[in-house]
A and B are shown apart, each in its own frame.
Chain A
Amino acid sequence: MDFTTFDISASALSAQKVRMDVIAANLANINTTRTREGGPYRRQDVIFKSVAKGNFSNHLNSAMGVDVVKITRDQGPAKMVNDPSHPDADKNGYVAMPNISLMSEMANMMLATRSYEANAEAISSAKSMYLRALDIGR
């Protein structure tokens, strides 16, 4: 009996969890103008990659789960907002704000949540299937 399916679905749960953490950080810091590195908070994103999980004895048989290979930081220009009253405004009255769209982050959050649910359902399905098989001949 091949239990690789659990490794695969579990890898996706972990990956989507990481993605949720990143989205949460982006949302929390949507107005952060001061960071340790200096300057406004830079949006983070995850990069997913298919990774072989499970039995490696026959490489053709390896099943592909998913991992987060990198958490990237936005390197693009900051969003300049006109707000002379802001303590971090420059001499022209502009503040460098994080380039984060609330809608975009919420959309990503829904994708991550749905994916997490789908993978949790996959684990539950596989478990119920294999447990039912124990009833053969009982």
Chain B
Amino acid sequence: MGMNSIDNMISIYKRVLDVSSMRNRVIAENIANAQTPGYSALKVDFDKYMKNTNNLGKIDMVRTSRNHISQSKQNSGIEIEKSGLRPRADGNNVDQDLEITKMAENTIVYKTAVELLSRKFKMLKMTIEEGGK
């Protein structure tokens, strides 16, 4: 197993941490504004960010302006889009129960990435320590 593949794995786990951390914040915003009239729910597309190999190594978080109806494409960075759900009478379109569920799932994704990253480092450490013997 070459250093390159270890680097790649660590880099991938790090990106998972970045995007799920940002996703957590966006979900928290939606939950906080679940009853604010006129508020438009946002979402972070996890898969889109992970599949976009252009942003390997980059960790900019760029946010589209809330006034844009269409989502502007960013070449790097985590894209925050409107959720596109149907608004209720007061203009709010947050589904509080859906957001709570998304947050639970996101927490598990984050913690899994932490665990796997941690194990990778432990393995590296063990290799280095044992190798000297």
A66 to B126, CA, bound (A): 48
Q: Which of A31-72 contact B (CB under 8 A)?
A: 47-50, 60-61, 63-66
One digit per residue, 1 when the CB lies within 8 angstroms of any chain B CB and 0 when it does not, for chain A 96-120 equals: 0000000000000001001100110
* Contact with A132, one of B28, B37, B64, B111 (Cβ below 8 angstroms): B111
- Check B54 for interface membership: any CB of A closer than 8 A: no
A4-12, A20-28, A73-81, A82-90: which lies at the interface: A4-12
Q: Are A125 and B29 in contact (CB under 8 A)?
A: no
Q: When A and B form their complex, what is the total count of cross-chain residue pairs whose Cβ atoms lie within 8 Å?
A: 102
- Check A138 for interface membership: any CB of B closer than 8 A: yes
Chain B interface main SS type: helix
Of all chain B residues, the one with the shortest Cβ separation from A130 is B21
Residues of A within 8 A of B121 (CB): 136-137
* Contact with B63, one of A1, A47, A60, A135 (Cβ below 8 angstroms): A60
Known contacts A132-B114, A136-B114, A137-B122; A8/B25 CB under 8 A: yes
- Check B96 for interface membership: any CB of A closer than 8 A: yes
Of all chain A residues, the one with the shortest Cβ separation from B21 is A2
CB distance from A37 to the nearest CB of B (A): 28
* Contact with A2, one of B25, B114, B122 (Cβ below 8 angstroms): B25
Q: Are B107 and A128 in contact (CB under 8 A)?
A: yes
Residues of A within 8 A of B11 (CB): none
* Contact with B17, one of A15, A50, A125, A133 (Cβ below 8 angstroms): A133
Pull 6 A–B residue pairs with CB atoms less than 8 Å apart, ordered by A. A48-B35, A50-B38, A118-B31, A118-B99, A125-B103, A136-B118
* 7 shortest interchain CB distances as A-B pairs: A12-B32, A48-B36, A137-B121, A5-B25, A5-B28, A122-B28, A60-B63
